[in-house]
Homo-oligomer: A and B are copies of this chain.
Amino acid sequence: MDSVLTELVSSGKITDPQSAKGRLMRAAAHLFKTKGYERTTVRELGAAVGIQSGSLFHHFKSKEAILLCVMEETIIINIARMHEALQHAQSAENKLLALITCELASIHTDTGEAMGVLVYEWRSLGEDKQKYILQLRDEYESLWLSTIEQGKKEGLIEHDGFILRRLLTGAIGWTTTWYRPDGNLTLNALAKQTLKLAIK
């Protein structure tokens, strides 16, 4: 467990992955990612952690609350990790590479399944919950946009900032469907290839 994660757990900002609730959330992320939220039943969810379906509602007040919690904590973790990664980079190119690597890692390491849920299942949230998640997302995106702006000032980037970020979001997010970390292509190599899209 990395230091960013332990810090978040001990400060109470996210659920301890070791706890019963944490294990439930991991199981939920797995099922929501592989089967989709709507096709996952509370009975499957219960069985995945070895309890009755009704007992879930002792930990969460609804199925939707589980989904929300998974999404919320995933964003919080990855915002924190991105902040951390940015601190070790100075030039725009290094910062951009750090962001790309971070985002790829968020999809292909521990938070991977939850990130998939975040992207594909947000429509299953009620309207007000969607707004809340979108708000967290804006915080995350501002880290990207300010780095890209620095890149434009340094003459590294020609594209419009918003368009470039959105194209990159798609390119990186889509890797969830094809990239496998245990294959020939390392995550860092993929990050470099992706960086090459953005800069000349």
Contacts and interface: CB of A to CB of B under 8 A. Distances in A.
Interface of A: 35-36, 38-39, 120, 123-124, 158-160, 163, 166-175, 178-179, 185, 190, 193-194, 196-198, 200
Number of copies: 2
A123 B35 contact: yes
Nearest to A173: B170
Nearest to A38: B38
Contact of A163 (B124, B163, B185): B185
A11 to B, nearest CB: 33
B197 A167 contact: yes
Contacts of A190: 163
Q: Which 3 A-B pairs have the closest CB atoms?
A: A170-B174, A38-B38, A167-B171
Contacts of A172: 170
A194 B197 CA distance: 10
B123 A158 contact: no
A175 B171 contact: no
A108 to B, nearest CB: 14
13 contacts: A158-B196, A163-B193, A166-B174, A166-B175, A167-B175, A167-B193, A167-B197, A170-B172, A170-B173, A170-B174, A171-B171, A171-B174, A174-B174
Contacts of A198: 197
Contacts of A169: 174
